[in-house]
Amino acid sequence: METVRPPALRTKTAGPFTVRVLANRRLSANAFELTLARPPRFYFTAGQRLRLEYAGAQRDYSIVSAPAETDLRLCIRRVEGGRLSARLAHAGADDPMMFTGPHGYFTFKPSAHPAVFVATGTGIAPFCAMAGAGVSGFTLLHGVETPADLYYRDFIQPRAAAYVACLSAGRPAEPAHYPGWVTDYLRNCLPPRACDFYLCGRQDMIRDATLLADERFPGSLVYTEIFY
């Protein structure tokens, strides 16, 4: 198994850009989608992120939108006591925002190996962008607490060869739901073979999934994006 960390992609745009909020939509009890106006000549690759600055704080958020879309959508987890997310949750239409970017290298690299996308919570964001950009036929594991947290399922599921909702709390509402962590599914259910793993989410998930890729999926590549 090889963990791959290529150089950051270079683009023609960097910012800072000042834009306005177009919409603020609740996705679940702890997550919301913020839509921003897209500046002219702002280019990015699906999977990259923005560094958003607001109310004296800044943080990176992966872009949910595909590169061809006219708006920029961000999937944000509200953290109680967080310096930025709590403020963003109350941002209204036409509020000004500033960002730089795009940043990052967590982009899709086609290969002969099957692609396995693994997300926890709002780590689903870059996979939405990849699916919107035309990537399909992947296996996607989305680790959340309850079915109410499966935002973007209706968009991603038709584009995936397999979509597995891994629920860490409560009883699965559908037979297709897996009762447990995404790492439990990797350990117990995914057939061992060489894969390209794309891991996005909590640091502990990425650590454990990387170890499993090394143990159970020899010859695999691992690409990571950690959400703090």
> What is the Cα–Cα distance from 173 to 146, expressed in whole angstroms?
9
Domain 17-103's class? mainly beta
Average pLDDT over residues 24-30: 94
> How many CB atoms neighbour CB 45 within 10 A?
18
Predicted local distance difference test score (pLDDT) of residue 13: 63
> What is the Cα–Cα distance from 172 to 34, expressed in whole angstroms?
29
CB within 8 Å of 53: residues ≥ 6 apart: 16, 97, 98, 99, 100
Predicted local distance difference test score (pLDDT) of residue 83: 79
* Confidence at 171, pLDDT banded by 50, 70, 90: low
Q: pLDDT tens digits for 124-152?
A: 999 999 999 999 999 999 999 989 999 99
pTM of the complete model: 0.91
In 3D space, the residue among 144, 151, 153 whose CA is nearest the CA of residue 178 turns out to be 144
| Mean pLDDT, rounded, of the chain | 91
Predicted local distance difference test score (pLDDT) of residue 6: 41
Q: pLDDT tens digits for 177-199?
A: 899 999 999 999 999 999 999 99
Residues of each domain in the chain carrying CATH 2.40.30.10: 17-103
* Confidence at 220, pLDDT banded by 50, 70, 90: very high
Cis-peptide into 114, omega within 30 deg: no
Q: pLDDT tens digits for 67-111?
A: 999 999 999 998 877 779 989 999 999 999 999 999 999 999 999
Fold of 106-226: Rossmann fold (3.40.50)
SS3 128: helix
Predicted local distance difference test score (pLDDT) of residue 4: 42
Contact (Cβ atoms closer than 8 angstroms) between residue 101 and residue 48:
yes
> How many CB atoms neighbour CB 25 within 10 A?
11
Residues of each domain in the chain carrying CATH 3.40.50.80: 106-226
In the predicted structure, residue 176 carries a pLDDT above the cut 80: no
In the predicted structure, residue 113 carries a pLDDT above the cut 80: yes
Q: pLDDT tens digits for 33-62?
A: 999 999 998 999 999 999 999 888 899 999
Residue 157 sits at φ, ψ, to 5 deg, of: -55, -45
Cis-peptide into 192, omega within 30 deg: no
Quote the tokens at residue 26: 């609740």
In the predicted structure, residue 7 carries a pLDDT above the cut 80: no
In 3D space, the residue among 228, 224, 226, 227 whose CA is nearest the CA of residue 5 turns out to be 224
Residue 108 sits at φ, ψ, to 5 deg, of: -80, 130
